């Protein structure tokens, strides 16, 4: 039987991790997969996480199963951060998921079970979005996320929505768009939210980088605007970046509706999908997040660490933008983009050349993880870019 299997290409982004690790050059630069790095190029465990883990070690008295919805203390502790302190708690319920990917998968599968057949999404997008939609057997309809000037393309979204049918879903990045770093402005969200309602589409909001753009509150603007008007929505949330928990796989899936039966059924369906997929999510990282959010001191420590990350990424962006033009590449937009990523207009041969000649690793789309740049390597990167651009 197994001889019938077709060969599969390795995931291009994840393959970069191994390629970079195998490169012996000491001055190689990793701008590939989306992990935060300090100015020393490290991805340390948050101090707040270490403190929560110490508490967990002391206090955890069992590792018995929790159930397919995972740690509900974690799921509920996040609600005020995601939805706002005053959000009507009777309208929202959630469950833990293995990372942002697990959360997106639950959102897409629950949408499908609700009768959604088509998902609209701006491109480029995180490659796993299209993969998950395809794996769920749903139709993907795309529109342009970004204009030629590097701004969020509201007109393309409006045109897409005009062509959408009632009951379609629209997948939107809440903040820190992956891979472009180009977010809709607050004024644009103000236009988008009523349009989603008018077109009777189901919003699916993916919030994987809250706090890495303009701050925890500001980064939730779009999601909260949509939820202030839309009768129902699904949310995929990740703590992998804003708590630095990447390999611990910490995410959450939420459904929002004032129909109590529909809300219970969204969770019931999510639970059966989880049971047949991973049964129960990994506990450790979510338990650590819960301990942080239940403790004012640890929360303050975590938020301060997040502020530091954001400030450092802003410094990198300012430095890149100050380079102005690198060959034909206009660097100015990088200064106003958000989060870990920006996209450089490079061809495949240029991306290969910068890797082979200069040891600079970036995704095949031209996406760079700006946190991979430090005081020690940013000038070298700009020169390498100038060489291949
Ligand atoms: C990324 O886009 O680099 C991250 O979200 C990691 C991943 O799972 O792709």
| CATH classification at residue 241 | 3.40.640.10
Last residue in a domain, options 264, 293, 322: 293
Examine the domain organization and report whether 313 and 243 are in the same domain. no
Examine the domain organization and report whether 88 and 197 are in the same domain. yes
Q: Following DSSP, what letter does each residue of 128-191 receive, concatenated?
A: HHHHHHHHTT-EEEEEESB-TTSSB-HHHHHHHHHHPPTT-EEEEE-SS-TTT--PPPHHHHHH
Return the half-sphere exposure (C-beta side, CA atoms, 13 A cut-off) of residue 341: 25
- Tell me if 207 sits within 8 A of 178, measured CB to CB: no
Asked, for residue 2, whether it belongs to a domain, the answer is: no
Last residue in a domain, options 293, 326, 352: 293
Q: Phi, psi at residue 95, to the nearest 5°?
A: -150, 155
116 lines ligand 1 (CB under 6 A): no
CA distance linking residue 89 with residue 199, whole number of Å: 26
Q: What is the DSSP letter of 2?
A: G
Examine the domain organization and report whether 152 and 185 are in the same domain. yes
126 lines ligand 1 (CB under 6 A): yes
Which among 208, 130, 185 is positioned nearest to 337, based on CA atoms? 185
Asked, for residue 289, whether it belongs to a domain, the answer is: yes
Give the domain CATH number at 352. Answer: 3.90.1150.10
Q: What's the gap in Å between 176 CA and the centre of ligand 1?
A: 13
178 lines ligand 1 (CB under 6 A): yes
Which among 183, 386, 180, 217 is positioned nearest to 303, based on CA atoms? 217
Q: What's the gap in Å between 58 CA and the centre of ligand 1?
A: 32
Asked, for residue 142, whether it belongs to a domain, the answer is: yes
Q: What is the DSSP letter of 71?
A: -
Strand 118-123 and strand 341-343: pairing? unpaired
Joined together, the tokens standing for residue 245 give 């928990």
Examine the domain organization and report whether 36 and 137 are in the same domain. no
Query: Which atom of ligand 1 is closest in space to residue 33's alpha carbon?
Result: 3
Examine the domain organization and report whether 16 and 83 are in the same domain. no
> pLDDT value at position 204?
98
Cα separations in angstroms, 1 against 4, 6, 7, 96: 6, 11, 14, 36
Examine the domain organization and report whether 269 and 127 are in the same domain. yes
> pLDDT value at position 149?
84
Examine the domain organization and report whether 34 and 152 are in the same domain. no
Regions in the chain scoring below 50 on pLDDT: none
360 lines ligand 1 (CB under 6 A): no
13 lines ligand 1 (CB under 6 A): yes
Q: What's the gap in Å between 163 CA and the centre of ligand 1?
A: 30
238 lines ligand 1 (CB under 6 A): no
- Judge if ipTM > 0.85: yes
- The verdict on whether 126 is a catalytic residue reads yes
Asked, for residue 57, whether it belongs to a domain, the answer is: no
Examine the domain organization and report whether 224 and 179 are in the same domain. yes
Element at 272 (helix H, strand E): helix 260-277
Asked, for residue 216, whether it belongs to a domain, the answer is: yes
Examine the domain organization and report whether 281 and 377 are in the same domain. no
Catalytic hit among 30, 91, 112, 126: 126
Based on the structure, what is the number of domains in the chain? 2
Residue nearest to atom 4 of ligand 1 (CA): 34
CA distance linking residue 385 with residue 389, whole number of Å: 6
For residue 342, give every residue at least 6 positions away whose Cβ sits within 8 Å of its Cβ, in sequence order, or none.
180, 181, 317, 320, 333, 334, 367, 368, 370
Give, for ligand 1, the residue of 128, 246, 368 to mutate: max count of ligand atoms closer than 8 Å to Cβ: 128
Asked, for residue 322, whether it belongs to a domain, the answer is: yes
Residue nearest to atom 5 of ligand 1 (CA): 34
Give, for ligand 1, the residue of 33, 210, 339, 371 to mutate: max count of ligand atoms closer than 8 Å to Cβ: 33
Q: What's the gap in Å between 127 CA and the centre of ligand 1?
A: 9
Q: What's the gap in Å between 105 CA and the centre of ligand 1?
A: 14
Asked, for residue 182, whether it belongs to a domain, the answer is: yes
Examine the domain organization and report whether 91 and 163 are in the same domain. yes
Q: What's the gap in Å between 240 CA and the centre of ligand 1?
A: 10
Backbone dihedral region for residue 281 (phi beyond 0: left; psi -120 to 50: alpha; all else: beta): beta
CA distance linking residue 386 with residue 157, whole number of Å: 34
Asked, for residue 26, whether it belongs to a domain, the answer is: yes
Examine the domain organization and report whether 145 and 286 are in the same domain. yes
- Tell me if 233 sits within 8 A of 224, measured CB to CB: no
Examine the domain organization and report whether 287 and 319 are in the same domain. no
Last residue in a domain, options 268, 293, 318: 293
Whole domain around residue 338: which residue ranges? Answer: 10-44+307-388
Catalytic hit among 30, 71, 241, 302: 241
Catalytic hit among 168, 206, 219, 248: 206
């Amino acid at each position: 039987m197994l001889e019938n299997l077709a060969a599969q290409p390795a995931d291009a982004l994840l393959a970069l991790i191994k390629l970079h690790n195998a490169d012996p050059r000491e001055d190689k630069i990793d701008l590939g997969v989306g992990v935060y790095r300090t100015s020393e190029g490290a991805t340390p465990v948050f101090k707040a996480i270490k403190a929560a883990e110490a508490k967990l070690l002391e206090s955890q008295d069992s590792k018995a199963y929790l159930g397919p919805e995972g740690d509900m203390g974690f799921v509920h502790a996040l609600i005020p951060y995601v939805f706002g302190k005053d959000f009507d708690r009777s309208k929202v319920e959630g469950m833990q998921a293995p990372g942002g990917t697990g959360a997106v998968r639950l959102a897409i599968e629950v949408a499908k079970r609700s009768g959604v057949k088509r998902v609209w999404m701006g491109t480029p997008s995180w490659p796993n979005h299209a993969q998950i939609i395809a794996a769920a057997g749903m139709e993907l309809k795309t529109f342009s996320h970004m204009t030629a000037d590097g701004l969020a393309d509201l007109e393309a979204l409006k045109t897409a929505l005009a062509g959408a049918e009632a009951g379609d879903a629209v997948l939107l990045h809440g903040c820190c768009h992956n891979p472009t770093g180009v977010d809709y402005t607050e004024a644009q969200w103000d236009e988008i939210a009523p349009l989603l309602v008018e077109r009777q589409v189901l919003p699916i909001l993916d919030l994987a980088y809250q706090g890495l753009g303009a701050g925890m509150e500001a980064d939730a603007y779009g999601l909260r605007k949509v939820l202030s008007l839309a009768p129902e929505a699904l949310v995929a949330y990740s703590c992998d970046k804003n708590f630095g928990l990447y390999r611990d796989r910490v995410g959450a899936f939420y459904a929002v509706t004032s129909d109590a039966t529909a809300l219970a059924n969204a969770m019931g369906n999510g639970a059966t999908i989880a049971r047949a997929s991973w049964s129960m999510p990994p506990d450790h990282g979510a338990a650590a997040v819960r301990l942080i959010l239940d403790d004012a001191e640890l929360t303050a420590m975590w938020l301060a660490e997040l502020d530091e990350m954001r400030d450092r990424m802003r410094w990198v962006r300012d430095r890149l933008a100050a380079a102005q033009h690198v060959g034909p590449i206009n660097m100015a937009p990088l200064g106003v983009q958000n989060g870990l990523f920006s996209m450089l207009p490079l061809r495949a041969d240029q991306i290969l050349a910068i890797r082979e000649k200069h040891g600079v690793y970036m995704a095949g789309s031209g996406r760079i993880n700006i946190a991979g740049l430090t005081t020690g390597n940013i000038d070298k990167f700009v020169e390498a870019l100038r060489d291949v651009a």
